[in-house]
Structure 1
Amino acid sequence: MITHFQWKPLFEDEKLPGWRISFYYKKQHFQGIYHPEGRIEWTGSHPAEEEEKNISAMIHELMLYHVYES
């Protein structure tokens, strides 16, 4: 489960797409850039390959809720 999920616009002009994200998953901190098409560019630690698809799906749901539906 993802905890302490945070996001903020990548650019000062919030109309430009892209967001910095950070969160914890299994007590490990992760950071990345969430691109408008749903691709995640990891900065720093990268999730294990077998968990990346599941984590990406959870992040996509959170972004839909926080960004696209607000």
Structure 2
Amino acid sequence: MLQHFSYKPMYDNTKLPGWTFAFFFRNTRYTGDYMPEGEIRWNGETPPEEDNVKKMIHELMTFHVYD
């Protein structure tokens, strides 16, 4: 389970798509970029169980950004 998930637009002009995000997973902090087409680019380490983590991020982004 992801903890303390946060995101913000990459650009000041919020009409331009793209978001940065951060969260904790198994007591380790991870950050990345969520691209408009749904691609995730990790900044630094890739979390374990990457496929499951990506699914959780997609669900959170869909709920918060695209609702």
Scaled by the length of structure 2, the TM-score of the pair is: 0.95
Matches within 5 A, 1:1-70: 1-48=1-48, 51-69=49-67
Unpaired runs of at least 5, structure 1: none
Identity %: 48
The alpha-carbon deviation at position 36 of structure 1 amounts to 1.0
Displacement over 2 Å in runs of 4+: none
Structural RMSD (CA): 0.7
Paired residues in the alignment total 67
The answer as to whether partners of 1:29 and 1:45 remain within 8 angstroms in 2 is no
Scaled by the length of structure 1, the TM-score of the pair is: 0.92
